[in-house]
Amino acid sequence: MADSKTPEERKKIEEIGKMTALNQDEIVSNTRTVIQGLDTLKNDYQQILNTLLLSMKTIKIENGDTNLVEEKTNILQRSLETIELGLGEGQVMMDLSNYLQKIEAEKQKLRAQVRRLCQENGWLRDELATTQQKLQISEQKVATLEEEKKHLEFMNDEEI
């Protein structure tokens, strides 16, 4: 099937592809930065949560009101769950990016292999054409020699 796009359209599509590739690299870089920030935030929240849990134990021992600390603890736990979700999603994005890069590399490798096979196919076609020409010439020579042989045999039979 022939490509109906003009050279200008193909060039625009290639330019958009290059811009998308740059954006993908930027996205991956930004995702790494966000993952690092979320990981730091997670560690900070975990330390705060541990401190609050210790405070709550102390307050319970002293028979104090733990409502405020429990509320803060619940908020921190929900925040930690959200951070964990963000970290997981960031990791999925990184894994997807790595996968897409591997697929793109494999696609380029396969394209190079197709080009090489097309070249080899062309070379083999040329070799086949040359060999067929040689075969045809040889068959013509054989036919000519057989005719000469028959003629000589006929001439030889006539002399006897």
Give the pLDDT of residue 116. 98
Question: Which H, E and C letters describe the chain, residue by residue?
Answer: CCCCCCHHHHHHHHHHHHHHHHHHHHHHHHHHHHHHHHHHHHHHHHHHHHHHHHHHHHHHHCCCCCHHHHHHHHHHHHHHHHHHHHHHHHHHHHHHHHHHHHHHHHHHHHHHHHHHHHHHHHHHHHHHHHHHHHHHHHHHHHHHHHHHHHHHHHHHHHHC
Compute the distance between CA of residue 97 and CA of residue 28 in angstroms, rounded to an integer: 7
pLDDT at 19: 62
Are 32 and 95 contacting, i.e. CB atoms less than 8 angstroms apart?
no
* pTM value surpassing 0.75: no
pLDDT tens-digit profile, the chain (160 residues):
455 678 887 777 777 766 666 578 888 899 999 999 999 999 999 999 999 999 989 988 888 888 999 999 999 999 999 999 999 999 999 999 999 999 999 999 999 999 999 999 999 999 999 999 999 999 999 999 999 999 999 888 887 6
- The confidence score (pLDDT) of residue 21 equals 60
